[in-house]
Chain A
Amino acid sequence: MPDHPPPAPELTAADIRHIARLACLSPTDAQIADYQTNLAAVLGYVGHLRTLDLAGVAPLATPLPTTGPMDPDEPGQMLPPATLLKMAPATDGPFIAVPKVLGESEGGGGA
């Protein structure tokens, strides 16, 4: 890795808002300003990797030499619905309650 990092990429407030929308987050103006400096600094640091010679190197997503053994496809134990419903923040009878899905106003979130 070189001693002097490449310049940090410019991240505009619009860039940050775009990433936040993808991540389903609603950053405050202060957070956006923080990301513009700290996130850019981290991206500048990790940008070192692109200076390495990676021609012909295959990506490695997991250190495991092989995939795990497959289990037979048969029903197993599962948690009772009542137990799962108990964890939910809001319920309506045997269902998890959610707010209105259709017809949400623009800017209501990044779903």
Chain B
Amino acid sequence: MSVLQTALQIAHAVRTGAQSASGTVQQALARIDAENPAINALTQVFHAEALARAERIDAQVALGQDPGPLAGVPVAIKDNICTTLGMTTCASRMLAEYRSPFDATAVEKLLAAGAVIIAKANLDEFAMGSSTENSIHGPTRNPHDHTRVPGGSSGGSAAAVAAGLVPVALGSDTGGSIRQPASHCGVVGLKPTYGRVSRYGLVAYASSLDQIGPLTRTVADAGLVASVIAGHDRRDSTCAPTTADDITATLSTLDNVPKGLVVGVPRQARGQGNSPGVAQALARTAEAFVTAGARVVEIDLPHAGAAIAAYYLIATAEASSNLARLDGIRYGHRATLAPGEGLGALYCKSRSEGFSPEVQRRIMLGTYALSSGYYDAYYGTALKVRRLIKQDYDQAFANGAHVVVMPAAPGPAFEIGSKTADPLAMYLEDIYTVGVNLAGLPAISVPVATETIRGKALPIGMQLIAPPLGEGILLRAAALLERTGA
């Protein structure tokens, strides 16, 4: 496998017999063995299992069978997505030795399409973070500058793709956890519409916000993977009753310039907190769309400034409920009790030993927001703000914008350790991404520029946002931006 070979190229070559899946996987494993120790993007690598599967795919091709649209493509899976291969640790002591008895639906679909699961990718514990520093596996380092974070929480997935270890990785996005690391690592990250991809087998952080999506090097690859993993799943009651046919149909039109494209630029995206490179990239992205024939209009998202506060109340409230299942009884870490201690002590000690301080902090915040006397003031208020944020986007699309553009993050990747002592500073890293999750919209981060800091060119991604189930226009606009650059 060439480092720069895309998933589309690999699958085409394997399906036509021009390249073996075994050779592809062997090269990927060699690269992982050589490059991964320096960045710690992948935490489990399945050498024997991946090679055995690749050989089965080659045997299929030899028999004249089609392994599928991802034939022989090595894929890394964020370690909060259940796989029967290896462990599903969520980067937590709580699940350090947890082996899932089932594959997530998205993983099942990848396998059915001929993909080869080659590794699990690092993350912030239970996907709670924006830097991939808070992991029992240690921090992941940004391939563009090892002193900096890859973003998070899907930082292992983004770094693995950026370093050329795999052409495709799955991530999950609750408040920007696919798009922000994609921006920091210079890769493409697609967060589908809420409900577009089954959450079955995704360890829940915040159930009304979580969504699985791909990180890739090209927009076309992101669309290809989305076309495979999207679609209704009866095992997830929030999975939209739709097919992925529209995404599949879009794949053959990505080279066409969308006619009459209207791009909305929120005035709130020109925030004072943007780094010089991000501010310049946003301006140049708007210019690039104009040059390509699109109409760029300024729009207003008047409640965008309230998104972080609403998000952190809703996400932590849902997390405090979801993580209540981890109590040391049925699976996960169980504490050793002192004589005379009983079931209540087991719950508290197991959870206090199993969860890191940041996860405990979020559980505490969510518990407080849901507690008697504070529910209406915090959680109830946040839900009302959520409606206003969604209405802002609805209005922008109703007024004619086909897509909205804004940065994926206010700056390039920051230095490891620079925000760990200040949770609020870390939360503000998600200022441009969380509103999309609250509104349930599809969005994609496309690398468009770099900002040079201390001699290192750090990637900057621009985020495009579309109406619900608008992955088609989203991918076409993203492909246009990918071609033209900013």
Q: Which residues of A contact B (CB under 8 A)?
A: 1, 16, 19-20, 22-27, 31, 34-35, 38-39, 41-43, 45-46, 48-50, 52, 54, 57-65, 67-69, 71, 79, 83-84, 86-90, 96, 98-101, 103-105, 108-111
A96 near B427 (CB under 8 angstroms)?
Answer: no
From B208, B329, B367, contact of A19 by CB (8 A): B367
Cβ distance A63 to chain B, nearest Cβ, rounded Å? 3
A59 near B387 (CB under 8 angstroms)?
Answer: yes
Q: Which of B14-22, B42-50, B344-352 contacts A (4 or more CB under 8 A)?
A: B344-352
Q: Which residues of A contact B367 (CB under 8 A)?
A: 19, 22-23
B347 near A57 (CB under 8 angstroms)?
Answer: no
Task: Tell me, yes or no, whether B456 is within 8 Å of chain A by CB.
Answer: no
Q: Which residues of B contact A25 (CB under 8 A)?
A: 348, 351-352, 355, 360, 363-364
Q: A24-B351, A41-B424, A89-B332 are in contact. Are A49 and B341 (CB under 8 A)?
A: no
B241 to chain A: closest residue by CB: A69
24 CB < 8 A contacts A-B: A26-B352, A31-B360, A38-B423, A43-B368, A49-B378, A49-B381, A49-B382, A58-B384, A64-B440, A68-B195, A68-B241, A84-B330, A87-B99, A87-B330, A87-B331, A99-B342, A99-B343, A99-B345, A100-B342, A105-B340, A105-B341, A109-B343, A109-B345, A110-B347
The listed residue with most B CB atoms (<10 A of its CB), out of A31, A42, A46, A100, is A46
Q: A23-B367, A57-B387, A63-B438 are in contact. Are A42 and B352 (CB under 8 A)?
A: no
Cβ distance A1 to chain B, nearest Cβ, rounded Å? 4
Majority SS at the chain B contact face: helix
A65 to B390 alpha-carbon distance, docked (Å): 12
Q: Which 6 A-B pairs have the closest CB atoms?
A: A63-B440, A109-B344, A104-B342, A59-B383, A111-B344, A89-B334
A64 near B194 (CB under 8 angstroms)?
Answer: yes
Q: A22-B371, A63-B208, A109-B346 are in contact. Are A50 and B381 (CB under 8 A)?
A: yes
A57 to B345 alpha-carbon distance, docked (Å): 42
Task: Tell me, yes or no, whether B98 is within 8 Å of chain A by CB.
Answer: yes
Task: Tell me, yes or no, whether B306 is within 8 Å of chain A by CB.
Answer: yes
Q: A31-B360, A79-B101, A87-B99 are in contact. Are A101 and B343 (CB under 8 A)?
A: yes
A79 to B101 alpha-carbon distance, docked (Å): 8
A59 near B341 (CB under 8 angstroms)?
Answer: no
From A16, A31, A65, A100, contact of B357 by CB (8 A): A31
B352 near A45 (CB under 8 angstroms)?
Answer: no
Majority SS at the chain A contact face: loop
Interface string of B362-405 (1 = CB under 8 A from A): 01110110010000011011111111101000000000000000
Interface string of B307-330 (1 = CB under 8 A from A): 011101100000010001001111
B386 near A19 (CB under 8 angstroms)?
Answer: no
A24 to chain B: closest residue by CB: B347
A49 near B371 (CB under 8 angstroms)?
Answer: no
B365 near A24 (CB under 8 angstroms)?
Answer: no
A39 near B342 (CB under 8 angstroms)?
Answer: no
Cβ distance A104 to chain B, nearest Cβ, rounded Å? 3
A110 to B161 alpha-carbon distance, docked (Å): 44
Interface string of B272-308 (1 = CB under 8 A from A): 0000000000000000000000000000000101101
A27 to B367 alpha-carbon distance, docked (Å): 14
Q: Which residues of A contact B330 (CB under 8 A)?
A: 84, 87-88, 96
A100 to B342 alpha-carbon distance, docked (Å): 5
The listed residue with most B CB atoms (<10 A of its CB), out of A45, A52, A108, is A108
Cβ distance A91 to chain B, nearest Cβ, rounded Å? 10
Q: Which residues of A contact B347 (CB under 8 A)?
A: 24, 109-111
Cβ distance A23 to chain B, nearest Cβ, rounded Å? 4
Cβ distance B322 to chain A, nearest Cβ, rounded Å? 12
B207 to chain A: closest residue by CB: A62
B364 near A35 (CB under 8 angstroms)?
Answer: yes
9 new A-B pairs (CB below 8 Å) besides A35-B364, A89-B333, A104-B341? Answer: A19-B367, A20-B364, A22-B371, A24-B347, A42-B427, A58-B387, A87-B98, A90-B334, A109-B347
Task: Tell me, yes or no, whether B439 is within 8 Å of chain A by CB.
Answer: yes
Q: Which residues of B contact A69 (CB under 8 A)?
A: 241
B364 near A61 (CB under 8 angstroms)?
Answer: no
A96 to B329 alpha-carbon distance, docked (Å): 8
Q: A46-B378, A52-B385, A109-B348 are in contact. Are A98 and B343 (CB under 8 A)?
A: yes
Q: Which residues of A contact B361 (CB under 8 A)?
A: 34-35, 38-39
Cβ distance A34 to chain B, nearest Cβ, rounded Å? 7
Interface string of B224-253 (1 = CB under 8 A from A): 000000000010111111000000000000
B334 near A104 (CB under 8 angstroms)?
Answer: no
Cβ distance B212 to chain A, nearest Cβ, rounded Å? 16
A100 to chain B: closest residue by CB: B342
From A23, A103, A110, contact of B320 by CB (8 A): A23
B341 near A42 (CB under 8 angstroms)?
Answer: no
